[in-house]
Amino acid sequence: MERFYLTVARVAKKTLHHMVEHRIPMLPDIYSRHFYKFLSASDHDSQQLIEQQQQNSFDELITQQDQGFELMTELERLIGRLDQIAGQHIEQLDNHLLKIKVTDKFSDLSKLKDEITAELNQVITSNTKIHDHIVDAQETVKRLQDKMQEVADMATVDELTGLYNRRALFCRLSEELSRATRYGHGFSLLVIDIDDFKAVNDQFGHQTGDGILRGLGTFLRQNLRDSDFPARWGGEEFTCLLPSTDLEQAVQVGNKIRNLLSQSTLTNKKIAISLKITVSIGVSSFSAGDNIDGLIKRADDALYLAKRRGKNQIITEREI
């Protein structure tokens, strides 16, 4: 553990030096992102420690899935047993029917009536027990499904905004990169940062800041295509993956977001505050031989340039 702390201190110093040298704005989320990159690159053990909690979520999901498969097998067994029991009772009732046709004594008919009644009662009892087992199993399946969805959401959804989180973004970027490489379908990435967000937190408190973040999450879901992939990168920074979208089209999407936001008012009804916000946006687009890190870095660099040029604007990778 002491080695970990020493590594963190060393990487913190290295991160600050890098940001000062490259004139990168000293904003909390920007700092944390660069810190994480240096930490991951410098110490494998530390990287594993950071990623362990996320891995635990996936391990729990796999365990829940295994339990679900076991329960499905048990349901199949119960249904097979029901079919077997039903077949046995039908065969027995067929035998009774044959006896009815060939008997000529009233006493035999009375005895057969009692036997058939007993057989029907056994059918009802057997079916009731199996039905109860099936109902219990179905309820357990529903609980497992809900739990699996909850665990999956914990691993891929940002709790505050309801958007996808950074991990989900990397998974989707990997899929989109493979698709673009194989089929030539381009895509673009927006990196969006709320301007002067620290001032909002300082002046109105973190509750209001959280409301702004939730509001922006809702805004992005409502104003993007179903095929687009908005995510919260961290802090006040968001991303939007735009499939089948070139750089010029991505700029149009980014300007639409920026203009609509600048004309809108985000309201926190609990504390009766209405605020206008602006955003700065960096844009990159897939090119042959590209990779995820390069795509993100170009959009990041474009975002930093937008901040340095006065904020509330969109800059593309071509301008850096």
Amino acid (1-letter code) at residue 82? L
DSSP state of 315: E
How many angstroms separate the CA atoms of 138 and 226, rounded?
Answer: 33
- Look at residues 293, 295, 280 and name the one whose alpha carbon lies nearest to residue 187: 295
22: buried, middle or exposed (CB in 10 Å: 19+, 13-18, 0-12)?
exposed
Pair type for strands 237-243 and 229-234: antiparallel
Of 51, 150, 236, 319, the active-site residue reads: 236
Which residues face 238 on adjacent strands? 192, 232
How many angstroms separate the CA atoms of 235 and 267, rounded?
Answer: 19
How many angstroms separate the CA atoms of 69 and 140, rounded?
Answer: 12
| Residue whose tokens read 């009766």 | 272
CB atoms within 10 A of CB 1: 6
Residues 6+ apart with CB under 8 A from 290: 177, 180
- Is position 236 annotated as part of the catalytic site? yes
Amino acid (1-letter code) at residue 192? I
Give catalytic residues, as residue numbers. Answer: 236
